[in-house]
Structure 1
Amino acid sequence: MSFEFKRMLMVKEQLQGRDVKDKRVLDAFLNVPRELFVLEEYKDRAYDDSPLPIGYGQTISQPYMVAKMTELLDLNEDDILLEIGTGSGYQAAIASRLCKHVYTVEIIPELVDFAKSNLKKAGIKNVTVILGDGSVGLKDYAPYDKIIITAATESVPEELFEQLKVGGYLVVPEGDRFTQWLKRYIKLEEGKIVSEDYSACVFVPLRGKKGFK
């Protein structure tokens, strides 16, 4: 079975077969080869309905979870997105198809190199991968239209709300080390923040100054 066929099957069964309806998101998944973002020994499992190890205690998230988080971001063509936790670069690659630019911060140097290599192989040029502590955000290019945190956090660091534009969305798995709830925060006028709850999930813990101790 070819990767192309597996990719189409993934979109049909794992995404459309659940509750992912945004055509732009579905098209992005059809156009980004997931096999380029996994370790060589897992290439045959690239389209499994599950997360996969990428080394250093980290994973590439389950395709459905990547899709759901992307859909919740509601990305527009002119949006600048900040991603906290680059991993293999797959989430950034998907988002890059839907927005103007992605700045993504990764705390593990080896994964910075892995993600850069993967994005280059995929021919993606509107993603900037930065080595740093994403738990305090990335002031350099703030404010951002949208922010996504791809690791579990007990609560969203205040720095990230400060770096989010008014009207912007922040999508995050929030909870303890073992189970989290997928949430979307919306920043309103005068700094007011409202939240929406979606579904239970499990992510690796956020590292860094404002991550899990």
Structure 2
Amino acid sequence: MSLPLNSLVDATQDTLAHTRYNMVEQQIRPWNVSDNTVLEVLHSLRREDFVPPAHYQKAFMDIEIPLRDDAFAIERGHCMLAPKIDARMANDLQLQPHERVLEIGTGSGYMAALLSRLCQDVTTLEIDPELAETARENLATAECHNVTVRVADGSQDSLSDGPFDAIVLSGSVAQIPEKLLAHLKDGGRLIAIVGDLPMMRVTIVRKQGGQLTTTTPWDTVAPRLQGFADKSKFVF
């Protein structure tokens, strides 16, 4: 005897919720993610809705997920970061409900969705028009109405929407782009993954009273954000 369709749907949703719970409790919480609001959002936000259908089964795995059918998609930065990376970055920003956030590197829109549940509004920049449109669709499905997706190169294009309370670079850069720091409000902070393989440092820059302070609380690795140049090398 087969189950009614509604029962199958409910069973599937229960399984997904349980798998999402395991992701948060077994992968993310042990990785020094302790902000209860961030954890609550992670439990409720349907990460699976931001994953390409071909990789649906990988939605909750501790891996980067390619956003294109391309063997080099991850290397080119066309990917979702591992769940614990997004979560830890959101945790460390300590966002407040009244704050405005800029994200560079929208990808599928998952990080923007996570940030949008923690602050007033999010402007997110994606250099690739196709990915930007996919992100808009994903964010609409998730009812993230306080997110604006713009097709732009965050390393070059002017940022007319600022200043911002927080800036998030969802990918790695060789060094902190100084021009972005000008778009931080006083009391604002920028978080980015900085450096080169084999190990990079998560770097948080805080602006207070016109002064900048920098901390590097943890190590990780991530693909390069498109558009951001590597450090110049000496030529002999």
Fold in common (TM above 0.5): yes
Equivalent in the alignment of 1:100 = 120
| CA distance in structure 1 between the partners assigned to 2:143 and 2:97 by the alignment | 18
Contact 2:95 2:119 survives alignment (8 Å): yes
| CA distance in structure 2 between the partners assigned to 1:61 and 1:16 by the alignment | 16
1:169-201, Cα deviation, whole Å (9 max, x unpaired): 1100000255311111101223x2111112221
Equivalent in the alignment of 1:31 = 44
Instruction: Give, in angstroms, the shift of residue 96 of structure 1.
Output: 0.5
Instruction: Give, in angstroms, the shift of residue 203 of structure 1.
Output: 1.3
Structure 1, unaligned runs of 5 or more: none
Relative to the length of structure 2, the TM-score reads: 0.85
Matched, 1:54 2:72: no
1:155-182, Cα deviation, whole Å (9 max, x unpaired): 1112210000111111000002553111
Contact 1:85 1:104 survives alignment (8 Å): yes
Structure 2, unaligned runs of 5 or more: 1-11, 232-236
Instruction: Give, in angstroms, the shift of residue 89 of structure 1.
Output: 0.4
Structure 2 residue corresponding to 1:9, chosen from 22, 46, 62: 22
1:6 match: secondary structure: helix
1:36-59, Cα deviation, whole Å (9 max, x unpaired): 111101111100111111124311
Equivalent in the alignment of 1:170 = 190
Contact 1:205 1:212 survives alignment (8 Å): no
Instruction: Give, in angstroms, the shift of residue 18 of structure 1.
Output: 2.8
| CA distance in structure 2 between the partners assigned to 1:124 and 1:85 by the alignment | 17
Structure 1 residue corresponding to 2:162, chosen from 114, 131, 142: 142
Structure 1 residue corresponding to 2:216, chosen from 190, 197, 201: 197
Contact 2:101 2:122 survives alignment (8 Å): yes
Matched, 1:114 2:134: yes
| CA distance in structure 2 between the partners assigned to 1:130 and 1:178 by the alignment | 32
1:135 match: secondary structure: coil
| CA distance in structure 2 between the partners assigned to 1:117 and 1:48 by the alignment | 23
| Structure 1 stretch displaced more, 140-149 or 11-20 | 11-20
Instruction: Give, in angstroms, the shift of residue 206 of structure 1.
Output: 2.1
Instruction: Give, in angstroms, the shift of residue 137 of structure 1.
Output: 6.2
1:207 match: secondary structure: coil
Instruction: Give, in angstroms, the shift of residue 103 of structure 1.
Output: 0.2
Equivalent in the alignment of 2:146 = 126
Contact 1:70 1:95 survives alignment (8 Å): yes
Instruction: Give, in angstroms, the shift of residue 140 of structure 1.
Output: 1.4
Q: Over the residues paired in the alignment, what is the CA RMSD in angstroms?
A: 1.5
Same amino acid, percent of matched pairs: 34
1:121-157, Cα deviation, whole Å (9 max, x unpaired): 1111111000011124652111000000112111111
| CA distance in structure 2 between the partners assigned to 1:177 and 1:207 by the alignment | 16
Contact 1:182 1:199 survives alignment (8 Å): yes
Instruction: Give, in angstroms, the shift of residue 112 of structure 1.
Output: 0.3
Relative to the length of structure 1, the TM-score reads: 0.94
Match for 2:219: what amino acid?
Answer: A
